Structure formats: C-alpha cells, structure tokens
Amino acid sequence: GLASGGAAMSSGGTLSILRSDSYAELSQYRDQHFRGTRYDQERLLRKSCTLYVGNLSFYTTEEQIHELFGKSGDIKKVIMGLDKVKKTACGFCFVEYYARGDAENAMRYINGTRLDDRIIRTDWDAGFKEGRQYGRGRSGGQVRDEYRQDYDAGRGGYGKTVQCQ
C-alpha cells in the first residue's frame, strides 16, 4: 500500500509535528579524528548505515549485539571496539546495516534500551575505517574510561586514572 502522510497528494502534504523524528537525528557529537570538513562529515552521517554503539559491557559479545540490533533489520557487519594495547573488547562497537531505514529504526527503538543490563547508546557514524576499532584513551581503552571516578564492574572497575593512584 502507499505510505500515509500524503506523499502522493497534491492538496495535502504532511504536518511538521508528524514529521518529528528526534531519535533519528544527528547528535552534537563530531569525530575529531575525522579526515575531512565538518560538511563532509555531516553529509556522510546523514546517509550512513553505520551506528556507533557505546556503554557496552566489556563482556558483551558480537552474538548478543547481532541478536539485539537484528531486530531493526538485516545486519551487514558488526565490528567490536578493542583496547589498542590488549586487543580485547573495550565497551563499544560499530553496527552496519544494509539499509539506512533499518539503522534509523535502531536509533528509534534500540538506542536507550538495555543490553547485558546496561542502557546502551547509539549514534550515527560516518563509516568504519581501519583503525577506528581501537580505543583512543591513553591506556588503550576508551577515553571515558580514563578519567571516570565511579566503579563499573562491566568496564574494568574504576577508571584508569583512579586505578593508577
């Protein structure tokens, strides 16, 4: 059937309150290591089929991610984020879909829900490039695990700076 919202209607159209799609919008985050202009990055983000997924437990597996994110569509690839030094999972990953619409549904319905009892966060990614699977923190993991003060059993305990004290 035809989509509602008046795509084919000449006398109508739609209403901006019904166009609202805040979960699928770009966030404020921009990758500082991105090679190219802001404009390039945003153009890629707007047509991307790849999501960054954060706040994973270090123990969450590719299989679990595949099962959860498979609920919004067929997954092309999952790339686990790794500690640069240890080469073990360090709590983030990339999920690439074949279709942008499936990634949008993940942003609408999987972002902000739980995986391994943790609220995970998804965001648009400009596309995987070799090297981006590694944490950028000084100790090898993610930056957020360098400085945090709290104890998180699923993410190696205390933050690295705290651990070194």
What is the binding site for another protein (CB under 8 A)? 1-2, 4-6, 8-18, 20-24, 61-64, 66-68, 71-72, 74, 78-80, 105, 108-110, 113-117
Amino acid at 9: M
**Distance in Å, CB of 5 to another protein, minimum:** 7
- Taking the complex as a whole, how short is the minimal distance between the CB of residue 75 and another protein, in angstroms? 9
Closest to another protein by CB, 15 or 143? 15
Q: Would you say 116 and 57 are in contact if contact means Cβ atoms under 8 Å apart?
A: yes
Going by C-alpha positions, the residue among 60, 56, 82, 62 that lies closest to residue 137 is: 82
Cα–chain center distance at 147 = 21
Which residue number, 75 or 139, has a Cβ lying nearer to another protein? 75
Closest CB to another protein among residues 118, 148? 118
Taking the C-alpha atoms of residue 102 and residue 75, their distance in angstroms, rounded to an integer, is 9
The alpha carbon dihedral of 117, 123, 124, 128 has a sign of negative
Indicate the residue among 27 and 113 with the shorter CB distance to another protein. Answer: 113
Closest distance to another protein from the beta carbon of 85 (Å): 20
Task: Copy the structure tokens of residue 141.
Answer: 């993991």
